[in-house]
A and B are shown apart, each in its own frame.
Chain A
Amino acid sequence: MADKKDDSLKSKREKSTDDQTSQTADDQSKKAKDANTKENKSAKKAKTASKAEHAESAEVVKLKQTVVDLQKKLDDMENRYLRAEADMKNIQTHAKKEQADLIKYDGQQLAHDVLPIVDNLQRALAVEATDENGKQLKKGVSMVFEHLTKALADNGVEKIEALNKPFDPKFQQAIQTEAADDEHPADTVTKVLQDGYRMKDRVLRPAMVVVAK
């Protein structure tokens, strides 16, 4: 891995040298050619010349290939960089939005988990108290219930009003139907079996309702 890196660095450096001194390089290659010709002249065998030429063109081919490889590598890196940058931007956007949501809907999970307890207090309050003791106890529980719902309301958790309203699946879930009557035309909520709650623009839990049909 490290070797490869070194190699590519080296070839990069070589490349930049090539660019800057292309004129010089040309001159040099001319000189080299001249030298070659001289050599050729002095050489007794033509084979040697062709070998040298061959070696030179092989070098050129190799360099050209290096350029192609590097260009490809560069394109690839550029592509990756652009992708990473786009990804980073997206992640930042989402992180910002998520953070804003976190602040806006702070306590949503807690509220959601508290709702069944609110339900059960409500169920407890639906029980008829017969003796004085029971009535006082119920009154106390009712006060506690009020405090709890107020605490929730202060934190943006509100009950969804549903009774006798037109059925709206955005906020209500139909779990039963019953025959429509004068008081309740079709598609009106006749009973709320369990209150629904919303937090700001989100439905924490839809109201469980009976709908006239």
Chain B
Amino acid sequence: MASNKIIGIDLGTTNSAVAVLEGSDPKIIPNPEGSRTTPSVVAFKDGKPSVGEVAKRQEITNPNTVHSIKSHMGEQGYTVDIDGKKYTPQQISAMILQYIKEFAEDYIGDKVENAVITVPAYFNDAQRQATKDAGKIAGLTVKRIINEPTAAALAYGLDKQDKDEKILVYDLGGGTFDVSILELGDGVFQVLSTNGDTHLGGDDFDQRIMDWLIDGFKKENGVDLSKDKMALQRLKDAAEKAKKDLSGVTESEISLPFISAGENGPLHLQTTLTRAKFNELTSDLVAKTKTPFDNALKDAGLQVSDIDQVILNGGSTRIPAVQEAVKSWTGKESNHSINLMKRLLWVLPFKVGLSPVMLRTLFYLM
């Protein structure tokens, strides 16, 4: 008999994740590589698909590699052509879901049939249906499709209140920014408006640090690191680490020995990035979220003062400057009503690279 467990799947544009309720705790299921998120990438080799990390690693050598398929979900007539065979976005997404399902089953030790999948609030009926279909192709019964901002609101237990409220969800992830206005009435959420920027996220913040490092290195040593693929890879890792450090401390040391070679031998990169400098480098990125923020309010026909609760979601909202900006725009502490347990869930995404969305989704359903 198949397990009656329901898995919660965060089917993302760049990365996906899966969780299951274990006892009363939601548990993120690691993939076979031991990682808690799986790249939403499918690569075909000799007609056989591979998914995740392995697919991503061949992205630049294999033209038959498909990524960001989520952005084509529900698109009428869109197909990916692989060696003369056409695949719909549903079929590609199903391969990702199937891979996730398989390692989830390995973990649970039983067959899994039921799933809950989160989708962006702006998904229309066709996109939602396509997501359901993808689940079906993968052999999953999609019990429910949940809006990402709604799941975030559930994560904070906002549905448990008797008051009717207007909630603003500010979601700054790795590659996309979404802002949604929800209305809660009788424990049911309604999406009033949604807005965003599909090309703004944590990766842009990393890139700013990388650019700053490259500029500084060029000025000092006359060597352009941006021409060196391996150096770029190291810079990217270092930039991401510095960004995360700066959420907790005000200074981060970046140290990359033997990053390059000059006429007089090896060159090293060693510098300190302060939070103030980081804020300066990225202030326009934070400011860029203001227009979608304003538009979402306008579309909902609301003033800032009408908002009762503000929720921050996505790893990039751990950046202090982002938190401060949202606080100054809304005049509200974004986490004032969150208790310690919830706070923990809130910190989790940074630790494990997963939105609290799914965690609560599971809490909510079982």
Measuring CB to CB, which residues of chain A are less than 8 angstroms from any residue of chain B?
Answer: 87-88, 90-91, 93-94, 120, 123-124, 126-127, 167, 169-170, 172-177, 187, 193-194, 202-203, 206, 208, 211, 213
**Distance A187 CA – B22 CA, assembled complex (angstroms):** 44
The answer to the question of B108 belonging to the interface, with a C-beta cut-off of 8 Å to chain A, is: yes
**Chain B residues near A174 (CB-CB < 8 A):** 57-61
Closest CB of chain B to A75's CB: distance in Å? 16
CA distance A51 to B22 in the complex (A): 56
Asked if B60 and A175 sit within 8 Å, CB to CB, the answer is yes
A-B contact pairs, 28 of them (CB 8 A): A87-B23, A91-B22, A93-B109, A94-B107, A120-B258, A123-B257, A123-B258, A124-B266, A126-B258, A127-B258, A127-B261, A167-B61, A169-B43, A172-B57, A173-B56, A173-B57, A174-B59, A174-B61, A175-B60, A175-B229, A176-B60, A187-B61, A193-B229, A203-B33, A206-B57, A208-B233, A211-B61, A213-B61
Task: Assess the A90–B265 pair: CB atoms within 8 A.
Answer: no
Contact partners of A202 in chain B: CB under 8 A? 33-34
Instruction: Determine chain B's interface SS by DSSP, over half rule.
Output: mixed
Query: Given A94-B107, A194-B230, A203-B33, is A169 in contact with B55 using a C-beta cutoff of 8 Å?
Result: yes
* Min distance, Cβ A212 to any Cβ of chain B, angstroms: 9
Q: Are A120 and B257 in contact (CB under 8 A)?
A: yes
Mask: chain B, 148-187; 1 = CB below 8 Å from A; 0 = not? 0000000000000000000000000000000000000000
Chain B interface extent, by class: 20 to 34
Chain B neighbourhood of A120, CB < 8 A? 257-258
* CB interface residues, B 246-267, toward A, < 8 Å: 257-258, 261, 265-266
Shortest distance between the CB of A95 and any CB in chain B (Å): 10
B43 — which chain A residues lie within 8 A by C-beta?
169
In the complex, the chain B residue whose C-beta lies closest to that of A173 is B57
A-B pairs, 10 with minimum CB distance: A123-B258, A173-B57, A169-B57, A169-B58, A193-B230, A174-B61, A211-B61, A169-B54, A120-B257, A87-B23
Q: Determine if B266 and A94 form an interchain contact, defined as CB atoms under 8 angstroms apart.
A: no
Flag whether B323 is at the interface (Cβ < 8 A): no
Measured between beta carbons, the chain A residues less than 8 angstroms from B257 are 120, 123-124
Q: Is B266's CB under 8 angstroms from A177's CB? A: no
Alpha-carbon gap, A87 to B54, bound state (A)? 33
Chain B contacts for A211, CB-based, 8 A:
60-61
A140 to chain B, nearest CB (A): 17
Q: At the interface, yes or no: B334 with Cβ under 8 Å from chain A?
A: no
Pick from A87, A124, A173 the residue with the most CB of B within 10 Å: A173
Question: Given contacts A202-B34, A213-B61, are A123 and B266 in contact (CB under 8 A)?
Answer: yes
Name A208's contact: one of B50, B61, B230 (CB within 8 Å). B230
Q: B230 and A175: CB pair below 8 A?
A: yes
- The CA-CA distance from A120 to B238 in the complex, in Å, is 14
Question: Once the chains are docked, how many angstroms separate the CA of A90 from the CA of B104?
Answer: 13
Q: A93-B109, A120-B257 are in contact. List 9 more A-B contacts (CB 8 A).
A: A90-B22, A91-B23, A123-B258, A123-B266, A169-B43, A174-B61, A175-B229, A187-B61, A194-B233
Nearest-neighbour CB distance to chain A for B176, whole angstroms, equals 24
Q: Which residues of chain A are within 8 angstroms of B50 by Cβ–Cβ distance?
A: 169
Closest B residue by C-beta to A204 = B34
Q: Which residue of A lies closest to B34 (CB)?
A: A202
Q: Is B60 a contact partner of A177 (Cβ separation < 8 A)? A: yes
A186 to B109, alpha carbons, bound, how many Å?
A: 41
A170 CA to B211 CA, complexed, in Å: 31
Write the chain A residue with the least CB distance to B23.
A87
